[in-house]
Amino acid sequence: MAKVISTILAIPGFMAFYLYKLVQANVQVAVRILSPNMQVSPGMVVFNAKADNDAQLLLFSNLVSMTPGSLSADISPDKKQVLIHVLYFKDERTLQNEFSDLFNRVKKIV
């Protein structure tokens, strides 16, 4: 019962976090597309997911794909890694940290 209550309480915070990230990504993509030289640096990132269940992996993958500038391209057969295409490849560590933050928040609500 305590798990259910903590999950319910975590959902509004997660929604606010994801809405902020969604707006941030939309603005970033819009600015780059509207700029005269449209600077993109696409790349692929392998994210090591430590999912407790398939629902966590599914929600994470869908949220990544819904965010402009990123797309979940594949999930490994053992369901431990997610291959993510990004439109703006920064350094690997920054991207891993961003995806890890999202994944940890997903784990709190699923």
Residue ranges per structural domain of the chain: 2-109
- Does the pLDDT of residue 48 top 80, yes or no? yes
Q: What integer pLDDT is reported at residue 9 of this predicted model?
A: 86
SS3 of 33, please? helix
**CA 64 to CA 72: how far, in whole Å?**
6
29 vs 1, more confident:
29
Strand order in the sheet with 81-86: 43-48, 81-86, 70-75
The rounded mean pLDDT for the chain is: 92
Confidence of residue 98 (pLDDT cuts 50, 70, 90): very high
What are the beta bridge partners of residue 82? 47, 75
DSSP per-residue codes, 62-101: HHHHHSTTEEEEEE-TTSSEEEEEESB---HHHHHHHHHH
Residue written as tokens 């920064």?
Answer: 90
Q: What is the mean pLDDT of residues 33-59?
A: 91
